[in-house]
C-alpha cells in the first residue's frame, strides 16, 4: 500500500504526539525550572507525551460512554484548544539549541524509517492485533471491556479516542501509532545517559543504539504487541525520573511523577509492574553493593555474571524461551559484540550504574523463569518471553551508552591533547551502528507474522457478502507458548482466519492446524459441532488445502484464490 494512504492518520497522530510532548514539556519545565538544558527537556518530554494523550483519551472515551461521541468530540476539541493558551505561555527558547535541533533531526529521520513499515503493511501483524482491533472497536461502540481477565486497557482507550476523533480507520491508527511510538522511543534514552555521564556524544550514541541497534523494540509491532510498545514510553519516563530522586531539591516531585508513570505503565501493560519491581530490586542490590569492601565488591559482579549465564543456559534449554536468545544472537550479533566490549569500560568508569543494569538484566531474565499460578489465568511466569525479549534492549542500550562515555573518558585521559577525539569516536561508533542497521535491521513487516494478505482481504469481502451472519467457520490454530508453564489447551489462530470475527463478525471455531481431514471421524465431528465453512489461509500452519481438495464431496471449495480459500462443509444431513 502506498504510504500516502496513511497520510491522514500519520498527520493526526504525529500532531497529537507533539501536542502531548509540548504539554509535558511545559509541565516539566514548570516543576524543574532551569535544572535541565533544552535537549534534556526534549528527551524528557519525549518520554512524557503519553500522559496528556492518555488523559485526553480517557476523558473523551468516558464522555463518549456517558453522552455519546458528538459530545466527546466537542470535549476533545475544547481540551486541545484550551491547552493552546497554556502552551504559548513562558519561554520556549530553552528548547532551541544545537543539541536539541540535532535530536529533533534524529526524530525526523527516525519517523522516516519507522513509517517505511507502513508501505508494506496491510493489517496490523499477528493474532494479537486482531484481538486489540476487536477491543478498540468495542470501545468505539460505547462499551468498555472491564472483565477480570482483560487488561492493557490504556492502549485501547488511546487508540479508540484517536480513531473516533480523527475519523481514521482503527487499523490505520494501530499501525501508525505503533510506528510513531517506535520513532520517538530512542529519544527518551538521551536523558539518562546525559544525566549520568554529562556526555552529549554518549547520549546521542545511545539514542542511535536504542533506535537502530537491536531488533527490539521494532519487532514488537510484528507481534502486534502494541500495549507493550506503548508501555515502553512510560517505562522510560519512570526510569528517567527515578534518576532525580537522588536530588534533594526534586525528590518529592520526582517520586510523585515516577508513581504516576508507574500507574500509567500498569494501565498500558500490567506486567510493567514486574519490570519496575525488578528495577527497584536491582537498585537496592546495587546500593548495597556500593557499600561493600573491595573483595566482595569485585566478587559480586562475577557471581552475577555466572547467574546470568545460568539463566541464559536455562532459557536455551526450553523450546519456548529459546527464541529470546536466537532473536538477539541472529539479528544483533555485531551490536551485542560492541555492547559487550563497551561494557568493560562501563564497569570501569560507572561501576554502580553498570552493576545496577547488570543486576536488572538478571532479574528480568529471572522473571521469565519464576512460575506463578493465578486462578483466572492458570500457570504462568512473572514475565513472558516476548515481553522480556522486548525489554532487554533497554539495559543493553544503556550499558552501551555508559561504555561509550567510559571509552571517551579513558581515551581523553591517555590522549589529553586530542580535543576532537570524542567527536571522532562518536562518528566511528555511530557509523558502526548505522552500517549494522543497513545490513541487519528490518524496516518492513516481517513475513513471520503477517497473517493476512490481499487474497485474505478479498476472501473477507466475499464472505461478508455471501456467508449467512450466523455461519460458523473453522480456522486453524496452534498452541500458545510464551512461557514454560502454559497448558497445551491455550491456543490461538495461525492465519488470516483470525480476522474473520473482528472484521466481518463471523463466528470462528478453532481447530488444530494439523487436523487430519482424511480421518473418517473428522467430518461427522465438524457436522456435530455445527461448522459450516472452513477457512484456509496462506501461513505455513494453515490447514492443508491439498487434502481438502481431494474430498470435494465433503468440503466443497466455494472461494479459491491462491492464498485464501473457503470450503463449505457439505453432507451433514
Partner 1 sequence: MFGMLKKLSAPRSLLFLLAGLAVLSLLGWLGWKVNQLRQPVDPTAEPILFEYCGADLVDFCVLSFGRDGDGNTIVNLFVPEKKFSAFYLNVIKATGESRFECDKSEDEPTSVYCIGGPVNLNERIEIRLLSKRGDQTLARGRFTITAFLISAPVSESQPTETGTPEAGITVIETPTSGIIFQGQAGSGVSSPADKNEPTPTPSVTPTVSASYPNYP
Binding to partner 1 (CB under 8 A): which residues in 375-434?
377-378, 380, 384-386, 389
Least distance from C-beta 55 to partner 1, angstroms?
22
Pick 221 or 359: Cβ nearer partner 1:
221
Least distance from C-beta 56 to partner 1, angstroms?
19
The reply on whether position 116 binds partner 1 by CB under 8 A is no
CB 384 within 8 A of CB 368: yes
In the list 245, 255, 297, 464, the residue contacting partner 1 (rule: CB under 8 A) is: 464
Residues 79-108 that bind partner 1 (CB under 8 A): 88, 91-93, 95-96
User: In a 3-state reduction of DSSP, which class is residue 548?
Assistant: helix
Q: Which of 179, 169, 276 is nearest to 230 (CA)?
A: 179
Pick 119 or 277: Cβ nearer partner 1:
119
How many degrees, rounded to 5, is the angle at CA 513 between CA 507 and CA 519?
100
Pick 54 or 355: Cβ nearer partner 1:
54
Number of residues interacting with partner 1: please give it, by CB under 8 A. Answer: 127
Pick 438 or 525: Cβ nearer partner 1:
525
Residues 194-253 that bind partner 1 (CB under 8 A): 215, 219, 222-223, 225, 227
Least distance from C-beta 375 to partner 1, angstroms?
11
CB 382 within 8 A of CB 368: yes
Q: Which of 493, 506, 495 is nearest to 536 (CA)?
A: 495
Count how many residues are written for the chain: 573
The reply on whether position 512 binds partner 1 by CB under 8 A is yes
Pick 278 or 481: Cβ nearer partner 1:
481
CB 272 within 8 A of CB 231: yes
The reply on whether position 326 binds partner 1 by CB under 8 A is yes
The reply on whether position 144 binds partner 1 by CB under 8 A is no
Sequential DSSP letters for 15-36: HHHHHHHHHHHHHHHHHHGGGS
CB 18 within 8 A of CB 45: no
H or E segment at 564?
strand 564-569
H or E segment at 96?
none
The reply on whether position 526 binds partner 1 by CB under 8 A is yes
The reply on whether position 527 binds partner 1 by CB under 8 A is no
CB 238 within 8 A of CB 273: no
CB 311 within 8 A of CB 365: yes
Pick 129 or 240: Cβ nearer partner 1:
129
Q: Using CA atoms, how far apart are residues 214 and 202, in angstroms rounded to an integer?
A: 17
470 φ, ψ to 5°?
A: -100, 15
The reply on whether position 180 binds partner 1 by CB under 8 A is no
Task: State the sign of the Cα–Cα–Cα–Cα dihedral 41, 47, 49, 51.
Answer: negative
Per CB under 8 A, which region of 158-166, 315-323, 403-411, 429-437 contacts partner 1? 315-323
Pick 394 or 531: Cβ nearer partner 1:
531
Pick 27 or 448: Cβ nearer partner 1:
448
In the list 294, 420, 546, 573, the residue contacting partner 1 (rule: CB under 8 A) is: 546
In the list 537, 554, 555, 569, the residue contacting partner 1 (rule: CB under 8 A) is: 537
The reply on whether position 26 binds partner 1 by CB under 8 A is no
Per CB under 8 A, which region of 66-74, 241-249, 254-262, 512-520 contacts partner 1? 512-520
Q: What residues contact residue 312 under an 8 Å CB cut-off, 6+ apart? A: 325, 365
Least distance from C-beta 528 to partner 1, angstroms?
8
Pick 214 or 354: Cβ nearer partner 1:
214
The reply on whether position 545 binds partner 1 by CB under 8 A is yes
Cα dist. 377→150, 327, 462, 485 in Å?
Answer: 11, 27, 37, 11
| Count of CB atoms situated within 10 Å of the CB of 572 | 13
Pick 405 or 495: Cβ nearer partner 1:
495
The reply on whether position 34 binds partner 1 by CB under 8 A is no
Least distance from C-beta 476 to partner 1, angstroms?
10
Per CB under 8 A, which region of 233-241, 297-305, 341-349, 517-525 contacts partner 1? 517-525
In the list 457, 485, 527, 551, the residue contacting partner 1 (rule: CB under 8 A) is: 457
The grid coordinates of residue 182 equal 517506535
In the list 246, 248, 419, 470, the residue contacting partner 1 (rule: CB under 8 A) is: 470
The reply on whether position 438 binds partner 1 by CB under 8 A is no
Least distance from C-beta 213 to partner 1, angstroms?
15
In the list 49, 131, 237, 393, the residue contacting partner 1 (rule: CB under 8 A) is: 131
CA 374 to chain centre: 24
The reply on whether position 511 binds partner 1 by CB under 8 A is yes
CB 451 within 8 A of CB 126: yes
Pick 108 or 295: Cβ nearer partner 1:
108
Cα dist. 177→11, 12, 180 in Å?
Answer: 11, 10, 5
Q: Using CA atoms, how far apart are residues 215 and 223, in angstroms rounded to an integer?
A: 12
For cell 549494522, name the residue.
436
In the list 454, 550, 571, 572, the residue contacting partner 1 (rule: CB under 8 A) is: 454
In the list 105, 427, 461, 572, the residue contacting partner 1 (rule: CB under 8 A) is: 461
Residues 268-297 that bind partner 1 (CB under 8 A): none
Per CB under 8 A, which region of 66-74, 247-255, 402-410, 477-485 contacts partner 1? 477-485
Pick 215 or 404: Cβ nearer partner 1:
215
Q: Using CA atoms, how far apart are residues 220 and 385, in angstroms rounded to an integer?
A: 12
Cα dist. 100→68, 107, 157, 256, 476 in Å?
Answer: 41, 10, 31, 27, 50
Pick 219 or 404: Cβ nearer partner 1:
219
The reply on whether position 477 binds partner 1 by CB under 8 A is yes
Q: What residues contact residue 99 under an 8 Å CB cut-off, 6+ apart? A: 37, 38, 39, 200
Q: Strand runs (DSSP E) across 329-377, as ranges?
A: 371-374
Amino acid at each position: 500500500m502506498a504510504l500516502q494512504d496513511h497520510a491522514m492518520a500519520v498527520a493526526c497522530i504525529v500532531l497529537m504526539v507533539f501536542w502531548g510532548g509540548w504539554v509535558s514539556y511545559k509541565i516539566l519545565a514548570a516543576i524543574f525550572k532551569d535544572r535541565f538544558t533544552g535537549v534534556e527537556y526534549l528527551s524528557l518530554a519525549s518520554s512524557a507525551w503519553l500522559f496528556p494523550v492518555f488523559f485526553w483519551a480517557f476523558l473523551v472515551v468516558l464522555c463518549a460512554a456517558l453522552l455519546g461521541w458528538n459530545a466527546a468530540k466537542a470535549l476533545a476539541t475544547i481540551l486541545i484548544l484550551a491547552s493552546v493558551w497554556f502552551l504559548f505561555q513562558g519561554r520556549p527558547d530553552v528548547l532551541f539549541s544545537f543539541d536539541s535541533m540535532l535530536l529533533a533531526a534524529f526524530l525526523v529521520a527516525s519517523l522516516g524509517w519507522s513509517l517505511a513499515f507502513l508501505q508494506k503493511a496491510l493489517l496490523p501483524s499477528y493474532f494479537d492485533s486482531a484481538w486489540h482491533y476487536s477491543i478498540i472497536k468495542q470501545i468505539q461502540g460505547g462499551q468498555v471491556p472491564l472483565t477480570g481477565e482483560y487488561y492493557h486497557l490504556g492502549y485501547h482507550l488511546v487508540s479508540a479516542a484517536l480513531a473516533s476523533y480523527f475519523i481514521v480507520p482503527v487499523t490505520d491508527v494501530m499501525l501508525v501509532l505503533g510506528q510513531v511510538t517506535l520513532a520517538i522511543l530512542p529519544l527518551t534514552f538521551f536523558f539518562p545517559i546525559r544525566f549520568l555521564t554529562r556526555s552529549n556524544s554518549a547520549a546521542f550514541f545511545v539514542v542511535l543504539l536504542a533506535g537502530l541497534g537491536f531488533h527490539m523494540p521494532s519487532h514488537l509491532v510484528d507481534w502486534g504487541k502494541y500495549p507493550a510498545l506503548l508501555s515502553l514510553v512510560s517505562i522510560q519516563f519512570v526510569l528517567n525520573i527515578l534518576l532525580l530522586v537522588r536530588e534533594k531539591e526534586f525528590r518529592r516531585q520526582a517520586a510523585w511523577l515516577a508513581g504516576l508513570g508507574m500507574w500509567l505503565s500498569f494501565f498500558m501493560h500490567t506486567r510493567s509492574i514486574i519490570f519496575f519491581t525488578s528495577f527497584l530490586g536491582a537498585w537496592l542490590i546495587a546500593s548495597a553493593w556500593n557499600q561493600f569492601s573491595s573483595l566482595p565488591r569485585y566478587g559480586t559482579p562475577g557471581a552475577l555474571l555466572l547467574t546470568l549465564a545460568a539463566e541464559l543456559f536455562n532459557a536455551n534449554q526450553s523450546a519456548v524461551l529459546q527464541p529470546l536468545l536466537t532473536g538477539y544472537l541472529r539479528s544483533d550479533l555485531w551490536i551485542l559484540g560492541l555492547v559487550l566490549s563497551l561494557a568493560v569500560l562501563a564497569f570501569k568508569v560507572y561501576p554502580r550504574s553498570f552493576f545496577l543494569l547488570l543486576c536488572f538484566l538478571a532479574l528480568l531474565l529471572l522473571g521469565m523463569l519464576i512460575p506463578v499460578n493465578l486462578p483466572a489465568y492458570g500457570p504462568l511466569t512473572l514475565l513472558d518471553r516476548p515481553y522480556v525479549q522486548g525489554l532487554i534492549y533497554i539495559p543493553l542500550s544503556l550499558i552501551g551508552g555508559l561504555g561509550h562515555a567510559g571509552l571517551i573518558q579513558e581515551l581523553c585521559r591517555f590522549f589529553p591533547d586530542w580535543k576532537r577525539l570524542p567527536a571522532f569516536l562518536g562518528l566511528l561508533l555511530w557509523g558502526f551502528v548505522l552500517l549494522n542497521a543497513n545490513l541487519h535491521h528490518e524496516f518492513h513487516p516481517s513475513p513471520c507474522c503477517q497473517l493476512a494478505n490481499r487474497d485474505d482481504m478479498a476472501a473477507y469481502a466475499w464472505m461478508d457478502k455471501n456467508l449467512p451472519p450466523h455461519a460458523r467457520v473453522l480456522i486453524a490454530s496452534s498452541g500458545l507458548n510464551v512461557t514454560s508453564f502454559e497448558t497445551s489447551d491455550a491456543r490461538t489462530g495461525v492465519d488470516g482466519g483470525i480476522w474473520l470475527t473482528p472484521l466481518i463478525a463471523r463466528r470462528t471455531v478453532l481447530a488444530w492446524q494439523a487436523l487430519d481431514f482424511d480421518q473418517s471421524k473428522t467430518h461427522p465431528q465438524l457436522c456435530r459441532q455445527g461448522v459450516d465453512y472452513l477457512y484456509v489461509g496462506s501461513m505455513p500452519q494453515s490447514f492443508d488445502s491439498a487434502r481438502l481438495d481431494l474430498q470435494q464431496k465433503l468440503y466443497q471449495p466455494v472461494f479459491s484464490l491462491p492464498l485464501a480459500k473457503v470450503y463449505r462443509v457439505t453432507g451433514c444431513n
